[in-house]
Amino acid sequence: MNWSDIGTIAPVVASVLVAAAILIVDLALPNRRQAVIATALGGLGVVAAVILLQAGHAGSAFGGAYSLDNLTVFLDAIFVAIAVLTILFGVDYIEPRGLPIAEFAAILVFAVTGAMLIAGSTDLVLLFVALELMVLPGYVLAGFARRDPYSTEGAIKYFLLGSFSSAILLFGLAYVWGITGTTRVDGVAAALAKVAAGGSIQPGLAMGLAFMSAGVAFKMAAVPFHYWTPDAYQGSPTPITAYLSVGPKVGAFAIALRLFVGALGPLRADWLPVVIVLAAVTMTLGNLVAISQDNVKRMLAYSSIAHTGYILVGLAAYAGGQHSGLSAILFYGAAYTFMNMGAFAVVAALQRQPGVSSQIATFAGLGRRDPWLGALMAVFLLSLTGIPPLAGFWAKAYVILAAVQAGGWLTALAVLAMVNAAAAAFYYLRVVVYMYMREPAEELRPSSPGLLFRVGLGVTCVLTVVFGLFPAIATAATNAAGVFGG
């Protein structure tokens, strides 16, 4: 180890320091919530600056265990944005419920540190440790409202299935390492390239790869490994649901990029059928179950499963030989992050007063009661549906385009994705119908969220619209980030 290694992982180091600073400020100045929030937001601003300074640079640290490339910078930037938005949305929700804001911010920053470490990991063991650093604080956050039975119930289910899948992933890693003799992603790729050339694969290695894939599928909530998602999302405090629906999800796809593309790239023709089936089943089942949900949080949970399916279409396109599938995944990740966080944030705004449910009836008459919130929710839902000219449209378009270009069975998958997008319009637009065309059963007071919350909503909405009107802004970054390792 030397100082240049520290420079390469500077964003991760800075992020850990921010989390520590939040705890120290809370200890030194108890009951000064403004100081805590200012430390968290200012610190994350510094982390963002460090990430931007690294843009365009490349390098590796700790003997190749950590790589700095365009992909690392792109994903780091998304993760920091997620952390900032979660804090902006969280304050208004956490405070009326008497939950500690400093712990919330510190645990969140630790989780995001793990996600940032995943983004640059090119070593199996580092990847696993980074994954655990991301998900362990996630379990705590899910159960953050510890006197709320729903929150703890969602958390325990998230924890049990999450650590079960971690054990499966680790078992796979142990075999891959034991048989290829290396933990480096490029070393594994070289060993697998020999296998691909030779034609036969050792049973132990095949088993290891299968276990590893199942573990990753659990983390990204692909059907049939999705059972934890609805309860974890519905039970968690709503701003934390907003985080859980994007942070660990983009993190899981970061693992997929580093692992499937970086390490398993040479065997991609072999895992293509698996990804096609996973993508098809995931988006179809996610959408079908979402249609019958009356709770908007639960509906958005199933919708996030469907979006996993669409992102998997991009991975399938890569496996089918179309490299643009990777840029499509990254664009989808960025667009999905902002529109999905925005949608959950509107739910959080309505639930600002403790006791308000996330049932669809709460949305009746929102268009008249709270015209701004209603309009924002409509934008986010239309974007999630994939209506042009919003970010969600281009996200789906790029993924589907990459699949069509790859051809073969992927054309059928692209058609299925389009059918699914059309079917999904039903349950997204149902909320819009409630907001503008239904009379509320009881008159609710307009929820007037605080300044931080409004800034967060403004940022997510502007980005959702800007990525839709000028997708070239984002595609320049995603095209650069889509070229790495494999």
Partner 1 sequence: MSGSLDSYLVLSGLLFAIGTFGFLARRNAISMLMSIELMLNAVNLTVVAFGAFVPALKTHAAVIALLVIAVAAAEATVGLALVMAIYRNRKTPLVDEYDSMSE
Binding test (CB under 8 A) with partner 1, winner from 53, 55, 58, 167:
167
Binding test (CB under 8 A) with partner 1, winner from 42, 63, 96, 204:
204
Task: In whole angstroms, give the CA distance from residue 118 to residue 138.
Answer: 15
CB of 241 to partner 1, least distance (A): 13
CB of 104 to partner 1, least distance (A): 16
List binders of partner 1 among 207-246 (CB under 8 A).
230-231, 234-235
Provide the phi-psi class of 354: left if phi over 0, else alpha when psi is between -120 and 50, else beta. beta
User: What's the helix, strand, coil split of the chain in %, to 5?
Assistant: 80, 0, 20
**Closer Cβ to partner 1, 206 or 455, answer by number:** 206
What residue type is 371 in one-letter code? Answer: P
Per DSSP, helices labelled H in 292-390 are 296-319, 324-350, 366-369, 371-385
Binding test (CB under 8 A) with partner 1, winner from 219, 298, 352, 369:
298
CB of 235 to partner 1, least distance (A): 6
List binders of partner 1 among 429-458 (CB under 8 A).
none
The tokens describing 199, both together, are 């034609």
**Closer Cβ to partner 1, 184 or 268, answer by number:** 184
Task: In whole angstroms, give the CA distance from residue 320 to residue 316.
Answer: 6
CA 312 to chain centre: 13
3-state secondary structure of 222: coil
What residue type is 131 in one-letter code? Answer: L
Residue 291 makes contact with partner 1 by CB under 8 A: no
**Closer Cβ to partner 1, 167 or 437, answer by number:** 167
Give the CA radius of gyration of the chain. 21
**Closer Cβ to partner 1, 129 or 196, answer by number:** 129
CB of 85 to partner 1, least distance (A): 24
CB of 140 to partner 1, least distance (A): 6
Residue 376 makes contact with partner 1 by CB under 8 A: no
List binders of partner 1 among 103-162 (CB under 8 A).
125, 128-129, 132, 136, 139-140, 143, 146-150, 152-157, 159-160
Residues 6+ apart with CB under 8 A from 87: 37, 40, 41, 44, 105, 108, 452
Element (H, E) at 61: strand 59-61
3-state secondary structure of 68: strand
What residue type is 424 in one-letter code? Answer: A
**Closer Cβ to partner 1, 47 or 124, answer by number:** 124
Residue 203 makes contact with partner 1 by CB under 8 A: no
Stated length of the chain: 486
CB of 203 to partner 1, least distance (A): 11
Residues lying near partner 1 in the complex (CB under 8 A) are found at 125, 128-129, 132, 136, 139-140, 143, 146-150, 152-157, 159-160, 163-164, 166-168, 170-171, 174-175, 177-178, 181, 183, 204, 230-231, 234-235, 294, 298
